[in-house]
């Protein structure tokens, strides 16, 4: 019988340790089916720093989450043993070493079959998380929610930054290039070549305007057709949301998704072969009224719910 969150009728939500959704810690259970883990690292950012404080902020923002998810008709914490695995201590002064640490920690946390929902931190961490996923599942499909492509080559000569992880992942052969999609991209680019390179890597693009004009149901249908039954990893940069919904991020762009659109698209992934996910780029210093933290906590909650549903189907 899974150990669930602290009972809010007996212990006020604002009291006690701030684990994600007030779940037990990894060291308080015998095993974990799904682990929520933080990576407080933002050395790879190119504009506003502060995402290293994202995991703690999202945990604090998750205190109001409840055990039953009516949108997906699942009680995720009863369907699987979900835990908070704490933070991965990545070196803030050495990007290459930090990437190696995240990779090794992800492999360790998933060695017994557990699935990860990782809270960043900046988007650099997606690369080592994808490396770990590919070592276990082979090249994986990717659905990437972001205002930006994150397939640029280098920044100031650096190959490993928050704007380059998916280019590196394609080059390393850890992504299934027939099943790659960006969702929510928008805003100015450095040049048309950015799109040409991205297309060459195998990515399809659903812009934020496409979501607005086509609607959630059509977008979900296209994404499901693209990934099929492949193992799929979902990476969510919170700047996919419009700054009105998520001001607390490092590189905000106007014209983004609403939090409702993002959550409804994620809920449309029920039944997909989801094998892991991340939510990154939450920077609390810019997050007035905790809007971004609340949005990110609900995104993580729905991702946990999808993984719990998958776990229950396979049990």
Q: What would the pLDDT profile of 63-82 be if each residue is shown by its tens digit?
A: 999 999 999 999 999 999 99
Select from 1, 6, 3 the least CA-distant residue to 66: 6
pLDDT for residue 131 is more than 90:
yes
Known binding-site positions = 123, 146, 148, 150, 237, 239
pLDDT class of 105 with cuts at 50, 70, 90: very high
Give CA–CA dist 81/28, Å, rounded. Answer: 11
Percent of the chain with pLDDT over 70: 100
**What are the residue boundaries of the structural domains of the chain, listed by start?**
20-314
Q: 204: which strand partners? A: 181
For the ranges 10-14, 279-283, 289-293, which has the lowest average pLDDT?
Answer: 10-14
Q: What is the mean pLDDT of the chain?
A: 97
pLDDT value at residue 127: 98
Q: What is the arithmetic mean of pLDDT over 36-52?
A: 98
Q: What is the arithmetic mean of pLDDT over 300-309?
A: 98
Q: What is the arithmetic mean of pLDDT over 112-118?
A: 98
Percent of the chain with pLDDT over 90: 98
pLDDT value at residue 251: 98
Give CA–CA dist 169/149, Å, rounded. Answer: 13
Known binding-site positions for Mn(2+) = 123, 146, 148, 150, 237, 239
* CATH number assigned to the domain with residue range 20-314, chosen from the 4 options 2.30.42.10, 3.50.50.60, 3.30.360.10, 3.40.800.10: 3.40.800.10
pLDDT value at residue 315: 81
Angle, alpha carbons 110-111-114 (nearest 5°):
35
* Rg of the chain on CA atoms, in Å: 18
pTM confidence score: 0.98
Q: What would the pLDDT profile of 198-234 be if each residue is shown by its tens digit?
A: 999 999 999 999 999 999 999 999 999 999 999 999 9
């Amino acid at each position: 019988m899974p150990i669930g969150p602290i009972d809010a009728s007996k212990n006020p939500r604002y009291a006690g340790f701030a684990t994600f959704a007030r779940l037990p810690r990894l060291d308080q259970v015998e095993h974990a089916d799904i682990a929520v883990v933080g990576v407080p690292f933002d050395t790879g950012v190119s504009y506003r720093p502060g995402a290293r404080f994202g995991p703690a902020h999202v945990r604090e923002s998750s205190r109001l989450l409840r055990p039953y998810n009516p949108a997906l008709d699942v009680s995720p914490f009863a369907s699987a043993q979900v835990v908070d695995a704490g933070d991965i201590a990545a070196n803030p002064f050495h990007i290459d070493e930090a990437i190696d640490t995240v990779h090794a920690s992800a492999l360790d946390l998933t060695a017994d079959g557990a699935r990860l929902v990782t809270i960043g931190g900046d988007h650099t961490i997606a690369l080592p998380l994808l490396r770990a996923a590919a070592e276990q599942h082979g090249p994986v499909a990717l659905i990437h929610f972001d205002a930006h492509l994150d397939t640029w080559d280098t920044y100031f000569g650096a190959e490993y930054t928050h704007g380059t992880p998916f280019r590196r992942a394609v080059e390393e052969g850890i992504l299934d290039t027939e099943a790659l999609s960006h969702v929510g991209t928008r805003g100015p680019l450095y040049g048309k070549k950015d799109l040409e390179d991205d297309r060459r890597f195998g990515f399809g693009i659903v812009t934020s305007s496409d979501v607005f004009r086509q609607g959630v149901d059509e977008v979900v249908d296209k994404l499901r057709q693209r990934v099929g039954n492949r193992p799929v990893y979902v990476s969510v940069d919170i700047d996919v949301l419009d700054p009105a919904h998520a001001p607390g991020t490092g590189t905000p762009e106007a014209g983004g998704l609403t939090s409702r659109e993002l959550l409804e698209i994620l809920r449309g992934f029920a039944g997909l072969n989801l094998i892991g996910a991340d939510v990154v780029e939450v920077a609390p210093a810019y997050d007035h009224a905790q809007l971004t933290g609340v949005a990110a906590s609900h995104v993580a909650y729905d991702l946990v719910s999808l993984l719990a549903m998958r776990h229950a189907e396979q049990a």
